[in-house]
Amino acid sequence: MKHTLNQLDPLTRRSFIEKSAKSALGVSLMGGILGHKTAAMANVGPGKAKHVIYLFMNGGITHLDTFDPKTDSEVKGPTTPISTSADGVQIAQYLPEMAKQMHHCTIIRSMNSHTGVHESGQYIMRTAYNQRGTITHPSLGPLAQRLLGKTESRLPDSVNIGSGGGHPGAGFLPPAMSPIPIGDPSRGLQNARPLTTQSQFDQRIRLMNEFDATFRERFPHDDVKAYTEFYDETLNLLQGEDMLAFDITQEPQNVRERYGNDRFGQGCMLARRLVEHGVRFIEVEYGGWDMHNQIDGGMRNRAPVLDRGMATLIADLDERGLLDETMVVLGSEFGRTPRVNQNAGRDHHPRAFSTVFAGGGVKGGFVLGSTDARAYSVTDRQVSVQDFIATVGYGMGMDTEEVIYSPSGRPFTVGDSGKPATEIFA
């Protein structure tokens, strides 16, 4: 985790303080755990999602074998469509638990991308922008914090569960807005407690304050004050009860078993806990969808984990009265080819794929757009990646036309001028 955080935070005054704190206090301060509170809120749109849980299917999940099954014998492969709790909506037989939750969901079957490469496809599905070597764009969690302001929770505004080191994070936004990375949900937030006794910890705090006092007096600037406030708030958090939000052992055993004894299921459960504690944006990544070989075996292995975790998450949020204010989103970098290849698998296919929305003001039992009989091309209501990102932002109440500027002065918007698919909202 420490290596990941060092990659996220450039060697600045902030980084120096954090690294000094680690050695002086015996504690690892998490880069970005508390963002600076904004003085004013951005223009809030009509969205009602106070929280978003983004389930990212790393590898390019097959749309034909999940949320857009077909009956054409040349392309259907091993998949059989099954009925769901939503009238007239069918999904693949690999997802029986999700079939019971489709009355809460909207499927967008008309997604389209121009990117068929994994790394760049994952990047654009998190930022709406093409990957470039000269700039890193912010992902949706930090972007929401920039436009909507910091939430009242003392926890971070965004958390990534299971995401790899290539995640764009806060991009060009301040490092304080970086999502907290959680590798293994069962282990929670590592290195977040003092490694000394309380008296030793307090003494090191006093010594460090004495060490830093001269610098603060000599440079009474807003940035220095902000670092000091960040440091004080982080210490309060470390010594408070808020950290228990990351401890899934607090959950009853039957609840943990309901989500599934795997990282994705436990990650979904952790995401629900973080929503209950006020975290705005949580991404849970689940990989292994790059099925160039043996699509049936791959689906039988991966789909049950997705099916149980996502269906349980939606049902659990609904039972706790949280689904109306929490938008669950499933996305992936692209779909997979209709034609099953010589290895009984499917290859990359950005021309048409599916995403799924539930809760947060989204219509239930609704399908937007369609593909042809082979699921090869979009035939109705094409939705670009930019439209998709703008739709999530719109659902959260962000002004998708508000312009923010990078440090170099370049203008950016939520979704790179994409148009929200407003039809999916009730």
Whichever domain contains 308, its CATH number is 3.40.720.10
Domain boundary among 246, 281, 316: 246
Of 311, 327, 335, 345, the residue nearest 110 (C-alpha): 335
In a domain, 46, yes or no: yes
In a domain, 253, yes or no: no
Do 307 and 376 lie in one domain? The reply is yes
Q: Strands 326-332 and 353-358: what pairing?
A: antiparallel
In a domain, 258, yes or no: no
CA dihedral 195, 198, 204, 209 (to 10 degrees): 120
50 vs 45: CA distance, rounded Å = 12
Q: What pLDDT does 18 receive?
A: 44
Contact 119, 353 (CB under 8 A): no
- State the distance between the two ends of the chain, measured CA to CA, in whole angstroms: 40
User: What secondary structure does DSSP assign to 98-123, as a single string?
Assistant: HHTTGGGEEEEEEEE-S--SHHHHHH
In a domain, 116, yes or no: yes
Do 176 and 204 lie in one domain? The reply is no
Do 64 and 136 lie in one domain? The reply is yes
Q: What pLDDT does 35 receive?
A: 41
Do 275 and 410 lie in one domain? The reply is yes
Tokens representing 34 are 């508390």
Please give the chain's pLDDT, 426 residues, in tens: 444 444 444 334 444 444 444 444 444 334 444 443 343 343 344 568 999 999 999 999 999 999 999 999 999 999 999 999 999 999 999 999 999 999 999 999 999 999 999 999 999 999 999 999 999 999 999 999 999 999 988 899 999 999 878 899 999 998 889 999 999 999 877 555 555 566 665 666 667 667 677 776 777 765 565 455 555 555 555 555 788 899 999 999 999 999 999 999 999 999 999 999 999 999 999 999 999 999 999 999 999 999 999 999 999 999 999 999 999 999 999 999 999 999 999 999 999 999 999 999 999 999 999 999 999 999 999 999 999 999 999 999 999 999 999 999 999 999 999 999 999 998
Helices (DSSP H) in 320-361: which residue ranges? none
Q: Strands 51-57 and 326-332: what pairing?
A: parallel
Amino acid at 209: N
- What b/e sequence results for 50-77 when a residue is b if at least 16 CB atoms lie within 10 Å of its CB, and e otherwise? bbbbbbbbbbbbbbbbbbbbbeeeebbb
Do 181 and 196 lie in one domain? The reply is no
377 vs 109: CA distance, rounded Å = 10
Q: What pLDDT does 196 receive?
A: 58
Helix 118-127 vs helix 385-396: crossing angle, to nearest 10: 30
Do 281 and 196 lie in one domain? The reply is no
419 vs 141: CA distance, rounded Å = 19
Do 150 and 102 lie in one domain? The reply is yes
> Structurally, how many domains does the chain consist of?
2
Contact 290, 269 (CB under 8 A): no
In a domain, 259, yes or no: no
Do 20 and 142 lie in one domain? The reply is no
Provide the sign of the torsion angle of the four alpha carbons 294, 299, 125, 90, taken in this order: positive
Domain, as residue range, for 215: 1-31+189-246
Do 172 and 314 lie in one domain? The reply is yes
128 vs 320: CA distance, rounded Å = 32
Do 320 and 347 lie in one domain? The reply is yes
Do 129 and 74 lie in one domain? The reply is yes
Q: What pLDDT does 6 receive?
A: 43
Q: What pLDDT does 21 receive?
A: 43
328 vs 271: CA distance, rounded Å = 10
In a domain, 294, yes or no: yes
Tokens representing 405 are 């500027």
E strand spans, 345-424: 348-349, 353-358, 366-368, 370-371, 378-380, 383-384, 404-405, 411-412
Q: What pLDDT does 85 receive?
A: 98
In a domain, 10, yes or no: yes
Helix 263-276 vs helix 295-319: crossing angle, to nearest 10: 20
Q: What pLDDT does 201 receive?
A: 58
pTM: 0.83
Q: Looking up tokens 């440090």, which residue turns up?
A: 407
Do 215 and 287 lie in one domain? The reply is no
CB atoms under 10 Å from CB of 288, counted, come to 15
In a domain, 103, yes or no: yes
- Rg of the chain over all Cα atoms, to the nearest angstrom: 22
